[in-house]
Chain A
Amino acid sequence: MTAPVPEPTPLSRAPGVAFILKKALISALVALVLFSLMIGVRTEAGPTGQLIYWTRFGDLAAMVATVFGGSIVVELLRQWWGPVGTVRIVPPPMQNALAVARRAIAPVLLIFTFLVPVIFYDQRYILDLGILVLTYVMLGWGLNVVVGLAGLLDLGYVAFYAVGAYSYALLSTNFGLSFWVCLPLAGILAAFWGVLLGFPVLRLRGDYLAIVTLAFGEIIRLVIINWQSLTGGPNGVSGIPRPTFFGIPLTPGDDGLAAKLGIEFSPTHRIVFLFYVILALALLTNWVTIRLRRLPIGRAWEALREDEVACRALGINTTTTKLTAFATGAMFGGFAGAFFATRQGFISPESFTFQESALVLAIVVLGGMGSQLGVALAALTMIGGFELFRGFDQYRMLVFGIAMVLLMIWRPRGLIGHRAPTVFLRHSQPIVSELVREGRA
């Protein structure tokens, strides 16, 4: 005898209009209280130094109404889409199409990137944007080694970026060394810092490691600001020489590259050159990372992320494994920093704030920890998105913060939902991200 099927109760039916309205009303009330003083009243330091204020009840009302409306929209969406994490079955023909698209994305993107300076030769803005995106792609790939592969949460990655930048800046302005000589030096110095910083703290758990790396990043920035005799303090270092084409400068004069090649000089040459330099550096980062993943050290990084205790039981020295991950990531950060210095010609501590570390971390997490393509796409999305907000700096960071929260709620494992194994007997089967651990926390 089968059990009787229960009658659908009011609770099991979809929430009605009253429920949604009630929720929206509560949200609006909460918003009213939250915004009452912060938005309703605007304070400012007055002309004589005293504090003045004025009211903005119109803005307040608008914000509360937005929350009310937004709450309704969110509820409706939630009903339509189902709760976060609902599994959606993708029909097979679409699955095949997706699979083909997935494999095509990387090569297509790569070819497109190579051709960007050709396609957009005259659009300085696009070229600059491209250089910026590629810089962050490289930073993302570098941090990916630490966070994505080894599972070590590093919130102070900007420190290595800064070390690389200042190394090149100071070496070139004080000793006249060229970019190509300083580049490996910057990487080595940054790696050295990585080991130095990493050594005492790598046995800390995830949360603590994160805070400590954050503290390190801040310490480096404060030291840079305050050690004026060495770093120029808040004024930074200027007059950083631009890179040469293996010794031949890209200047309009007779000894310039343009003259040597017999073509007319154009300032765009240097931009294009810089574009290909950062592209080469980024691709180097990518290549090394992919190779290392297949070698025992890379596999040890990933095993460390999966289960550190098991690693130790297998005889793996987890301390040196963590240090190598840290140092390798730091080295790439250093390279990127040196490039940044030479591209800008001027650096100051303001470029090396915690916000940068958070941005690179967001790129790595959004990309799907460990995935090279994911990180590249994430960098493109984030930096491209940032560009849309040019001129609205504060709103930019506000949206960034909201995006991070939403990302964690909606897709905490990032865009790319799987991990590719590094060795296989028959065929390489991607592993879904739910199985892949994200490091010890």
Chain B
Amino acid sequence: MSEPCILSVDHLSMRFGGVVAVNDLSFTAERRKITALIGPNGAGKTTVFNCITGFYKPTSGAMRLTHDDGRNVQLERLNDFRISKQAKVARTFQNIRLFPGMTALENLMVAQHNALMRASGLTFLGLIGAPSWRSAEKHAIDLARRWLGRIGLLDRADDAAGNLPYGDQRRLEIARAMCTEPALLCLDEPAAGLNARESAALSELLLSIRADHGTSILLIEHDMSVVMEISDHIVVMDYGVKIAEGAPQDVRDNPRVIAAYLGADEEEAIAVMESGT
């Protein structure tokens, strides 16, 4: 029986000089569930992401990733690229980081780099055009094609990623992350800048990812419609500290959460809620 938690963050702290961005944060993300990390701007959410995905070395604390087979990986000990490679954690970025000078297809091929490197025999088999390499490449292109079809970009596969419309770029970035076949997918504001229709399509995509691949998802998001619709579990941060955690319903009615978003006091928030509006 595999451990229910895929990610366990324990007493995570991140300090930049005198600024404490994340203060003693602890939460868990369950396997095959969608966990949302929300909070006002500047709460430290992206910093947490950067710690989990290895772009920052946390000042203190531990982050444990548990694979399906029970293997544990301590994320705070790994370098960034190893987190993706060994711990199977993939991410997208707040400001989309595609490879703009490469086509959509090429972007998805780069994501399969490690598998393809192995198949090309560290390039040498590839240089001589060995059949094993050629079939591996074909397999990779097929995977890319499937994902392009899934996000509706199949007919734009050969277009430069930098030329794609914003919504398409967001979806392409998610598809690219999925091409690494991760166990945990971390999404940093995937709905930012999307209109209502695109947000709905995004929600559908994420739910299907969870259903079809069993990937656990951790997402930062401001768009409450997306968060409420797809999250199984929500963690709320403010000023680097966790202020609430629980099911979407509970979090939504939590006065502390409301106060944090309104920038008001808790008492004021309760007063507003009780006045029946």
Contact of A424 among B97, B158, B163, B176 (CB under 8 A): B158
**In the complex, which residue of chain B has the Cβ closest to the Cβ of A313?**
B91
Contacting chain A: which of B79-87, B191-199, B260-268?
A: B79-87
Which residues of chain B in 102-148 are interfacial with respect to chain A, using CB atoms and an 8 Å cutoff? 102-103, 105-106, 109-114, 116-117, 120, 123, 126-127, 141, 145
Q: Is B157 positioned at the interface, with any CB of A under 8 Å from its CB? A: yes
Contact of B102 among A316, A317, A318, A431 (CB under 8 A): A431
* Docked-complex contact B99 and A306, CB < 8 angstroms: yes
* Docked-complex contact B84 and A313, CB < 8 angstroms: yes
Interchain CA distance A427-B154 in the complex, whole Å: 13
**In the complex, which residue of chain A has the Cβ closest to the Cβ of B122?**
A297
* Docked-complex contact B120 and A310, CB < 8 angstroms: no
Which residues of chain B in 25-81 are interfacial with respect to chain A, using CB atoms and an 8 Å cutoff? 53-55, 80-81
Which residues of chain A in 277-326 are interfacial with respect to chain B, using CB atoms and an 8 Å cutoff? 288, 291-292, 295-297, 299-300, 302-303, 305-307, 309-318
**In the complex, which residue of chain A has the Cβ closest to the Cβ of B80?**
A312
Contacts of A419 in B (CB 8 A): 101
Q: How far is the CB of B23 from chain A (nearest CB, A)?
A: 25
A429 in contact with B159 given A303-B110, A310-B98 (CB within 8 Å): yes
* Docked-complex contact A435 and B113, CB < 8 angstroms: no
Contact of B101 among A288, A297, A306 (CB under 8 A): A306
Which residues of chain A in 104-152 are interfacial with respect to chain B, using CB atoms and an 8 Å cutoff? none
* Docked-complex contact A436 and B101, CB < 8 angstroms: yes
A313 in contact with B158 given A296-B120, A300-B110, A435-B101 (CB within 8 Å): no
Q: How many residues of B contact A (CB 8 A)?
A: 44
Q: How far is the CB of B149 from chain A (nearest CB, A)?
A: 11
Which residues of chain A in 208-251 are interfacial with respect to chain B, using CB atoms and an 8 Å cutoff? none
* Docked-complex contact B158 and A435, CB < 8 angstroms: no
* Docked-complex contact A314 and B84, CB < 8 angstroms: yes
* Docked-complex contact B99 and A310, CB < 8 angstroms: yes
Q: Is A425 positioned at the interface, with any CB of B under 8 Å from its CB? A: yes
* Docked-complex contact B103 and A421, CB < 8 angstroms: yes
Contacts of A436 in B (CB 8 A): 100-101
Q: Is B160 positioned at the interface, with any CB of A under 8 Å from its CB? A: yes
* Docked-complex contact A309 and B97, CB < 8 angstroms: yes
Q: Is A13 positioned at the interface, with any CB of B under 8 Å from its CB? A: no
Contact of B106 among A297, A305, A307, A421 (CB under 8 A): A421
Contacts of B120 in A (CB 8 A): 295-297
Contact of A317 among B53, B81, B127 (CB under 8 A): B81
Contact of B99 among A297, A307, A424, A429 (CB under 8 A): A307
* Docked-complex contact A313 and B113, CB < 8 angstroms: no
Q: How far is the CB of A125 from chain B (nearest CB, A)?
A: 38
Q: Is A260 positioned at the interface, with any CB of B under 8 Å from its CB? A: no
Q: How far is the CB of A331 from chain B (nearest CB, A)?
A: 13
* Docked-complex contact A421 and B158, CB < 8 angstroms: yes
Q: How far is the CB of A362 from chain B (nearest CB, A)?
A: 22
Contacts of B91 in A (CB 8 A): 313
**In the complex, which residue of chain A has the Cβ closest to the Cβ of B112?**
A296
Q: Is B90 positioned at the interface, with any CB of A under 8 Å from its CB? A: yes
Q: How far is the CB of B120 from chain A (nearest CB, A)?
A: 6
Q: Is B180 positioned at the interface, with any CB of A under 8 Å from its CB? A: yes
Residue positions of A touching B, CB distance < 8 A: 288, 291-292, 295-297, 299-300, 302-303, 305-307, 309-318, 419, 421-429, 431-432, 435-437
Given contacts A311-B81, A437-B99, A437-B100, 8 further A-B contacts (CB under 8 A): A288-B127, A296-B113, A296-B116, A312-B84, A315-B84, A421-B102, A425-B157, A431-B160
Residue positions of B touching A, CB distance < 8 A: 53-55, 80-82, 84-85, 90-91, 93, 97-103, 105-106, 109-114, 116-117, 120, 123, 126-127, 141, 145, 154, 157-160, 162-163, 176-177, 180
List of 3 A-B pairs having minimum Cβ-Cβ separation, nearest first = A436-B101, A315-B84, A315-B85
Show 26 residue pairs from A and B whose CB-CB distance is below 8 angstroms, ordered by the A residue. A295-B120, A297-B120, A300-B113, A302-B101, A303-B102, A307-B97, A309-B55, A311-B81, A313-B90, A313-B91, A313-B177, A315-B81, A315-B85, A315-B180, A316-B110, A317-B85, A421-B105, A421-B158, A423-B105, A424-B105, A425-B157, A427-B158, A428-B158, A435-B163, A437-B99, A437-B101
